[in-house]
């Protein structure tokens, strides 16, 4: 994602790597069987921090 800095001039930017696991067959750590919703919790925590 670092190559993106070539296109944003001096603007602040962020690259979110959202290519996490789409689904798991068994419960693994925090993930339950099925769709993972990978990254959703992180984005919600980020948005919540703006309100603080």
Here the tokens at position 43 are 């984005």
Phi-psi region of 38 (alpha: psi -120 to 50; beta: other; left: phi over 0): beta
pLDDT, mean over the chain: 82
Query: Per-domain residue ranges for the chain?
Result: 2-50
State the Cα–Cα distance between residues 47 and 31, nearest whole angstrom: 22
pLDDT tens sequence across 9-31: 889 988 877 777 777 888 877 77
The per-residue b/e assignment along 33-47, b for 16 or more CB within 10 angstroms, e otherwise, is eeebebeeeeeeeee
State the Cα–Cα distance between residues 19 and 30, nearest whole angstrom: 17
Q: What is the pTM of this model?
A: 0.47
Query: What pLDDT, on the 0 to 100 scale, is given for residue 39?
Result: 80
């Amino acid at each position: 994602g670092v190559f993106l800095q070539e296109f944003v001039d001096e603007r602040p930017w962020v690259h979110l790597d959202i290519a996490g696991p789409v689904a798991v067959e068994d419960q693994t750590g925090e993930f339950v069987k099925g769709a993972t919703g990978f990254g959703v919790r992180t984005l919600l925590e980020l948005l919540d921090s703006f309100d603080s």
